[in-house]
Each structure stands twice: as structure tokens, then as C-alpha cells.
Structure 1
Amino acid sequence: MITGSNVLIINEVKSFLHKKFKIKDLGPLKYFLGLEVLRYEHGIILSQRKYASEIVDQTGLDEGQAVTTPMEQNLKLTAQETRDDHYIEDFGVYRRLVGKLLYLTLTRPDISFTVQVLSQFIQEPKESHLKAALRLVKYIKDSPGRGIHLSSHGSFDLECFCDSDHGSCTDSRRSVTGFLIKFGGSLVCWKCKKQSTVSISSAEAEYRALRMAAAEITWLVGLIKELQVHGVEPVKVHCDSQSAIHIASNPVFHERTKHIEIDCHFVREKLLAGMIIFRHVRSEEQLADILTKALGGPQHEYILSKLGTCEYRVPNLRGGVKHIHCCDLIG
């Protein structure tokens, strides 16, 4: 796959490669390693529709009932075996399924949190873990063509939504960090990760999440500047914790924040340098919630609509021929 802003240089590269070894030019990018690229007048849609459909078929759930959320709300999975929840016989079945789902998160931020939870039980999966994984496949069956919409009419504004769920892990009581970054209104980066240490307060958990987001923003701003795009700073960071914002903005260290001093210095340094600015956002409008917890149906769909994800469908016509129409876009 070759990309660039100068068609002449691209053609030179292709000619050079063809002289060294025979290559075949397949034209504009449409399909690459399971990633499908759909171009239309309003931008580009990246999805893994074919790959997602194959996962559904391989699990035998193609005729099953679809669900509208990737994970049951308030479901708590644990690694401890109980009387009613035993280890499954073949660990390989679970491991292969989770491995496939991990690759699907490349274009599916809506399943990132659930896959992150399921990945924690790779070593010794239980029946409850497999049941949760199969439920996720049923969710994928409901919208296999869902993907990321990259708009062609966006600006050069960067904004970040950052959140955490304090002590959500049942076994370790570690918090979960979730953040997403939008460039010109299009989602370009997201992450869902369990924190490496236990946070003693929700403010600390939120602040550690800010530190991870600030590190990603620093790298992304540097990359964008290398591409000769300027004017992206300051980056708006939306956080629903007033305490975390206060810790970053207040130069005085309090007794209870000494143990997170390094994180404080890093985030405050980016704040003073003008790279980031904080904006408080209501919990109902915190888009990163989808990366930190299992949501109910209405809130899940609301956040997806705000993220700019959409779905395109390929209708089956007579003779098995498939065509993609822009009118089939759903978002």
C-alpha cells in the first residue's frame, strides 16, 4: 500500500519497485488485510464488514438472535472459579475467538471495552467468559458493517475525551482508562486499558487517565506537524472530573496527591506549554464512557452517533452480484 500527496512521486516509486520485482497495481485502495475502504462524496468509511461476518459464521451464530449492546450492563466477570461457573474444556476455542475480536477493534471502538475485559481471562477462561464473548458476536451480527467515518469536510481541530472507571476490576480493583481523540470531527484514535496501579480515589484514577491521554496527544501533535499541518494546538481535553482538572491547574501539591506527583508534573507541563486545555463536560456527554464501562442501549447508541461511526450495507442482488450504494449508508 502506497500513499502520498504527490502523484508523480507515487508513480516513480511504483516504477522503481516494478523494476526490482514484478508487482501488480490494483488501483485505488479498496481492501487491505481485512480492512475495507469505501470512498464517497462526503469522505471515507473504514470498516471490517467481511471479517466481522466471517467471525459470526465461524461461531455458528449467523442464524441466532442479535443484541443491541456488546455487554450486559453491570456484568462483573471474575477469574475465580465458583460452584456455578467452571472452566471450559477447550481453552483454545476462547483464545482464538478473542484474538479475532482484538483485530476487529481496529475499526470498532464500540467493542473495545468488552474485548479488553475478555482479554483478561485468556489464561483460564470460564463458561461465563465464553458466554460474554458469544454475546459480543451476537452484537457484531447486528451491525457487521459498522466502521469509522472520516469526513472530507472537517477542520484541523484536535479534541480529546478522557474518562476512567474507578476500581472496576473485580479481581485487582484497578481502574480502567478510556480516551478517544477526534481530528476535524472524525475519530482517529482511541484506547481502553486497565491502569497499572490501584488508585485510592476516583480523582486519582481520572488524573492517571489524563496522563495517558496527554502522552497520546503529544505523539499525535508531533505526527501531524511532521505532515505540515499546523494550528492544531491547543487540544481541548474534555473531562467530567472537576477534581482532576483542579489538580492539573493548581500549582500547589496537596498531601493526598504526593504519590501521583510524576503524573501531575507531566500533565501540568503540557498545560503550561499550551498544548492542551481542559474543558469540563457532563457525565451524560462524556463520549469516552463507551471505553470504560458497559452502557445501556439508548446511551450506547447516543455515544456512537456522536463518535461519527456509521454502517454501510451491501445488498444481495440476483446472481450473487453485490453493489455498494451511497444511499445504503446508515449513520
Structure 2
Amino acid sequence: MNQRKYALEILSDAGMLGSKLASTPMVNSTHLCQDNSAAHSDPSAYRRLIGRLIYPTNTRSNISFAIQQLAQFMASPTHTHHTASLRVLRYLKGSPGLGLFFPTKSYVQVKAYSDSDWASCPDTRRSISGYCIYLGDSLISWKSKTQKIVSRSSCEVEYRAMVVATCVITWITYILEDLQYSYSTHALLYCDNQSITTSTPSWAS
């Protein structure tokens, strides 16, 4: 399942079909903020571009974080934000047909991976959490979002990210039960924080 045609249309409309490829949708060390760089000359064009890029996140989980970041500055985008949005287009050009694969045969087990970036927003000092959830080998749910409150430690922010992922896991298991889809394995939740993994609560497995 992919949106190759739609991705190529975005690239064509933005005049980026001949652009240089980018290996990642964002520079790893980039933390976008409401900076003091020059205001973008055409804010409406920036809003239209980000609005169109939101739709491909339905099949492109790998750009969800970048689009979530860029969408926060639609009110008053700057040259920095515009440059970052063009990098997403350059990344899409390298793999316009990338999407989701659902195998015909797969085991039934819910697995989730959660992660967070502590105090990564320079404007609010809030953290960003994200998760991706698999049913067997198929990716079925993912999200990247700024947390609502400021966390005081990386351990705290990881727990908050795990709570959000656990809520989605619970919702998915209820759906499977409503569909009378039998399964006997426990849902799994993984995180990458050492302070979390040394004392994982019972609801996380």
C-alpha cells in the first residue's frame, strides 16, 4: 500500500522533481523552533504544502515526526521552516513508492515500540513522544506528538510515552475481541530507556 502517484504530484507542483535527494526527512540534530530568521515570503504556500504532506503520513510513518514538527509553525513560518519542508520533499523523491506491506500470512501478536525526545522543543521545553504498533509483521498504528506538560526527567517522559502507547494497545485488543479474532499471546511494549527497563511495570507486558 503506497501513495506514489500522490507523492509525485506534490513534488511536481512544488517544482522539486529535479532536486537533489536527501537520505533523511530531517537533519538529526535539528530542533525546529520559532526562530528569528526571515519570515517566509509566502506563508499560504507553506500551509498548503504541509497540509498536503499530512496525507502521505497515512502510509509513510517515517515522515510523521518531521510533519508533526513542521505543522506547528503554520501560523508564521520562517525561512528555516521552509527549508526543512523542502528537505522532506527531497526525501520523498528518493522513495516515492515506499509504503506499507501486509503479508498474507502472519502470526497474531500486538507489539509496540515507544520512544521520546526529552525537552526537545526549544520554545516550550516540552518533550515529544512517539510510538509504532505492529500486528504480527504489519505496521498498523503510529503517532508522533508533543506531550501536554513539561517532564522533569527522561525517565518521566518515557513513562508518559509508554502510557500513550499502552492506551492504543488496549484499544486494539478490544477491537480484535469485537471481531472475534482469537489470539493467546500477550501484547508486548518496548522502550529504550535504561531507567524504565530496570523496573518495567506489569501493564507494559
Structure 1 match to 2:47: 95
Structure 2 match to 1:58: 13
Aligned partner letter, 1:136? V
1:66 Cα offset (Å):
1.4
1:231 Cα offset (Å):
1.7
1:89 Cα offset (Å):
2.3
- Say whether 1:234 aligns with 2:186: yes
Note closer, same or farther for the CA distance 1:247–1:200 as it changes in structure 2 (3 Å cut). Answer: farther
Q: TM-score normalized by structure 1?
A: 0.60
Question: How much is the aligned-residue C-alpha RMSD, in angstroms?
Answer: 1.3
Structure with more of its chain in strand, by fraction: 1
1:73 Cα offset (Å):
1.9
Aligned partner letter, 2:71? S
1:239 Cα offset (Å):
1.2
1:233 Cα offset (Å):
4.5
The CA deviation string for residues 79-115 of structure 1, in whole angstroms up to 9 with x for no partner, is: 132xxx1111221010000001111100001101100
Are the equivalent residues in 2 in contact too, given 1:181–1:190 (CA < 8 A)? Answer: yes
| Aligned-partner Cα distance in 2 for 1:218–1:245 | 20
Q: Which of 132, 142, 150 is equivalent to 1:198? A: 150
Are the equivalent residues in 2 in contact too, given 1:158–1:232 (CA < 8 A)? Answer: no
| Aligned-partner Cα distance in 1 for 2:185–2:154 | 28
The CA deviation string for residues 243-287 of structure 1, in whole angstroms up to 9 with x for no partner, is: 2345653xxxxxxxxxxxxxxxxxx6xx2xxxx41xxxxxxxxxx
| Aligned-partner Cα distance in 2 for 1:246–1:96 | 45
Write the mapping of 1:257-268 to structure 2, written as runs, cut at 5 A: none
1:152 Cα offset (Å):
1.1
| Aligned-partner Cα distance in 1 for 2:190–2:141 | 15
Write the mapping of 1:286-301 to structure 2, written as runs, cut at 5 A: none
Write the mapping of 1:1-331 to structure 2, written as runs, cut at 5 A: 46-81=1-36, 85-231=37-183, 233-245=185-197, 248-249=200-201, 271=203, 276-277=204-205
Note closer, same or farther for the CA distance 1:200–1:227 as it changes in structure 2 (3 Å cut). Answer: same
Q: Report the secondary structure of 2:84's partner residue.
A: helix
| Identity %, equivalent residues | 38
Q: TM-score normalized by structure 2?
A: 0.96
Q: Report the secondary structure of 1:102's partner residue.
A: helix
Q: How many residues align?
A: 205
Runs of 4+ in 1 over 2 A off after TM superposition: 242-249
Aligned partner letter, 1:162? S
Q: Report the secondary structure of 2:100's partner residue.
A: strand
Aligned partner letter, 1:51? Y
Aligned partner letter, 2:157? A
Q: Report the secondary structure of 1:212's partner residue.
A: helix
Q: Report the secondary structure of 1:153's partner residue.
A: coil
| Aligned-partner Cα distance in 2 for 1:125–1:105 | 21
Q: Report the secondary structure of 1:105's partner residue.
A: helix
Are the equivalent residues in 2 in contact too, given 1:177–1:195 (CA < 8 A)? Answer: yes
Note closer, same or farther for the CA distance 1:194–1:232 as it changes in structure 2 (3 Å cut). Answer: farther
The CA deviation string for residues 194-249 of structure 1, in whole angstroms up to 9 with x for no partner, is: 10000000000000001100110111110111111122542111111232345653
The CA deviation string for residues 19-60 of structure 1, in whole angstroms up to 9 with x for no partner, is: xxxxxxxxxxxxxxxxxxxxxxxxxxx110100000000000
| Aligned-partner Cα distance in 2 for 1:69–1:92 | 25
- Say which structure, 1 or 2, has more relative contact order (CA 8 Å, 6+ apart): 2
